[in-house]
Structure 1
Amino acid sequence: MKPARTPPSKTQGFDSTSDNTDRDTDGVNVGRRTKRKRDEIYEDSMKSFMDEMKSLFSTFSGNQNEKLSQLQTSVQTITNQNSSLHAKLTSMESSISELRSEITSVQQEYQNMNTRIKEIESDITDMKQSLEYTSAEQKDLNNKIKSFENNSNISEKMKSEIEDLHTTISILKSEIMEQQQRDRLLNLEITGLPEMTHENLSELVIKLAKYAEVELVPEDIVHVTRVQPRKNTAGRPKAIVLKLKKRIIKDNILAGIRKKRGLSTEDICITGEPRRIYVNEHLTVDNKLLYKKCREAAKTSGCKYVWIKNCLIFMRKDDNSKSMNIKNDLDIKKVWE
């Protein structure tokens, strides 16, 4: 609590009324100063607030301007990209149009190619017909050549050339025959052996070898089978072809049968009327015909010896002449030269 203020005494010479008036004036002045100060503070605050708001608006406006500028740049970039994309699309449309044009051109070329292929097929047909005609002409020419060969007016040169050709053909044929015959070097051909139901050919050839005093076991046999003849003859059984592993076994069987001077069904215990069985080298068809010609030539021309050894045909005119290996028809003539 504030201490009470001591009022001034009247003896000091001051009027009380005057004193009260002065105090009222001082209170008013103090109130005015206080209000003025409060107003000044308010104005300062408002000014500061306004300055701050201006600064904020200025900053915000700057940021917005910067963002707007960036947005405008982005919009411009997108616009440029759209323009570039539009240009690319236009270029693509142009390329597609060109591609369609090329496809149409290729289709047209394909149709033209099909037409050309049909024309070629037609040409090939014409060529085939022409070749057939040429073949017929060739046959006719061959017939004429044969006719010329028989003509006495053919020149000696042409006759010599024809003989050379015949010689070459004979040599080639002989080489082929030799190769075919070498493939049969281990074979034996058995003819005259009757055919039986459920026959065991391996057992039959083992019995045949036993008769020739040769021990033959199934392991020595490569294969054995009957073969179809080129011409069927009633009552004649199919021949048997036997292939052995070793040539010495084949040679021993042939030598043993020759030593026995023949073989029949009775010798190998086959029931029924005895029938002659023949065991020979397995010759090719051509060599069989050649061997037949050799025997006929020997009979007509007085050749003393004709035989087969190791699938080769030999002839010998007499005891004083040399043996000759016969490979073709020309060799037969050489025996008497």
Structure 2
Amino acid sequence: MVTCASCGLQHTDGPVCSLCKQHFDFSCAGITEGGYRKLGDRKNSWRCPKCKSGLSPSPVSPSPLTDQLDRIQAQLNDVVLQLAPLASLVEDVKMIKCDLKDLKESHELVQEALNNFSVTLQALETRVTKVENIARDVPTLQAEIAKLHHELEDRDQWARANNIEIRGIPQKKNENLYEIAHKIGVICNAPIKKEEINYIARIPTRIPNIEKPIIIAFNNRYTKEELVASSRRNKQHLNLSGLGFSTAGDFYIHDHLTLRNKNLLSKAKKLAKEKNFKYIWVKHCKIMARKSDTSPIFFIKGEKDLLKIT
């Protein structure tokens, strides 16, 4: 018997995440027992919803790309330490040069000392040259780190391209997420078949006191895009009563964005409200903006693009 890392219940069989190495029962894993058996050798690379979504840190060994980032970061830390004494080191060299000039004009007995100072000066100048060479590499290293972070973010968002995130649906004990998905498809006029779903699960959220959102990963991106478009056309019908809940309220269907893109979207919407921007929306997991009906559309890919909202 093992304990499910999600619900805490004991079970005899279920998948094990290849990243966090935790056990899950089939319900919490978002996969049927039959579907898991069909994975074959791919069981060894199966990931739980938390690890697959990227919202939960993984205790496993970092990827080669992360190792590369760590090595570059270590180099930068070393550069910072070496650059710290650079200013005083240059001043010391200047002072030593002046002292050497005075000593050469004085007594012959200090000649040996002058030779020693010359050796010291040469060593110091060599160190300064090395530090200056390292300093010239800093912008390149910083650009490389930024590029790697951007590539990681793009890969993370690309992995969610077939996913939707549904918020606002209360969680019930022993709920059937496939049944909820089917009802949502009916409401949106975009029927959802069970075989079109890769996995479906609730995921943790960092926002306190709200229901865990439901993530649906489709096998086909066109199915996902059609559902998102239909939900926008029928957003007036996206209420809990249509799902059989007695409580009033609406639920919302969005593209499954990474945490970085969610924060970027939140900032963009806040700025748009302040600057009287009419449109901020997400399409194909990309944040788009438009000031008015006749204004050009532009993408918001990073913090710098927020400056365009004026």
Matches of 2:171 and 2:179, distance apart in 1:
14
- Is contact 1:324–1:335 with CA below 8 Å preserved after alignment? no
- Is contact 2:275–2:309 with CA below 8 Å preserved after alignment? no
- Is contact 2:265–2:287 with CA below 8 Å preserved after alignment? yes
Name the counterpart of 1:219.
195
Listed as ranges, the matches of 1:93-242 within 5 Å are 141=81, 169-229=145-205, 231=206, 233-234=208-209, 236-242=210-216
Listed as ranges, the matches of 1:1-337 within 5 Å are 141=81, 169-229=145-205, 231=206, 233-234=208-209, 236-262=210-236, 263-270=238-245, 272-336=246-310
**Alpha-carbon offset, residue 174 of structure 1:** 2.8
For each residue in 1:266-317, what CA deviation from the matched residue of structure 2 results, as whole angstroms up to 9, or x when unmatched?
A: 01222x2122211100000000001111111212223222110010111123
For each residue in 1:88-117, what CA deviation from the matched residue of structure 2 results, as whole angstroms up to 9, or x when unmatched?
A: xxxxxxxxxxxxxxxxxxxxxxxxxxxxxx
For each residue in 1:183-215, what CA deviation from the matched residue of structure 2 results, as whole angstroms up to 9, or x when unmatched?
A: 111100011111111111011111111111112
Matches of 1:164 and 1:187, distance apart in 2:
36
SS in structure 2 at match of 1:219:
helix
Matches of 2:200 and 2:303, distance apart in 1:
32
- CA distance change for structure 1 residues 140 and 164 in 2, over 3 Å: closer, same or farther? closer
Matches of 2:82 and 2:161, distance apart in 1:
38
Matches of 2:276 and 2:82, distance apart in 1:
38
* TM-score calculated relative to the size of structure 1: 0.49
**Alpha-carbon offset, residue 227 of structure 1:** 0.6
**Structure 1 unmatched runs, 5+:** 1-133, 146-159
Matches of 2:297 and 2:269, distance apart in 1:
15
- Is contact 1:170–1:328 with CA below 8 Å preserved after alignment? no
**Alpha-carbon offset, residue 139 of structure 1:** 10
**Structure 2 unmatched runs, 5+:** 1-73, 86-135
**Alpha-carbon offset, residue 170 of structure 1:** 4.5
**Alpha-carbon offset, residue 168 of structure 1:** 5.8
**Alpha-carbon offset, residue 162 of structure 1:** 8.3
Matches of 2:285 and 2:273, distance apart in 1:
22
Matches of 2:141 and 2:277, distance apart in 1:
29
SS in structure 2 at match of 1:181:
helix
Matches of 2:305 and 2:229, distance apart in 1:
27
- Is contact 1:265–1:275 with CA below 8 Å preserved after alignment? yes
**Alpha-carbon offset, residue 164 of structure 1:** 8.1
Aligned length: 185
Matches of 2:158 and 2:230, distance apart in 1:
23
Q: How many percent identity over aligned positions? A: 28
- CA distance change for structure 1 residues 167 and 139 in 2, over 3 Å: closer, same or farther? closer
- The letter of the residue matching 1:250 is K
For the aligned residues, what is the CA RMSD? 3.1
- CA distance change for structure 1 residues 252 and 322 in 2, over 3 Å: closer, same or farther? same
- CA distance change for structure 1 residues 183 and 261 in 2, over 3 Å: closer, same or farther? same
Name the counterpart of 1:152.
none
SS in structure 1 at match of 2:190:
coil
- CA distance change for structure 1 residues 216 and 142 in 2, over 3 Å: closer, same or farther? farther
- CA distance change for structure 1 residues 142 and 243 in 2, over 3 Å: closer, same or farther? farther
* TM-score calculated relative to the size of structure 2: 0.53
**Alpha-carbon offset, residue 172 of structure 1:** 3.7
Matches of 1:328 and 1:259, distance apart in 2:
29
- Is contact 1:174–1:327 with CA below 8 Å preserved after alignment? no
SS in structure 2 at match of 1:276:
coil
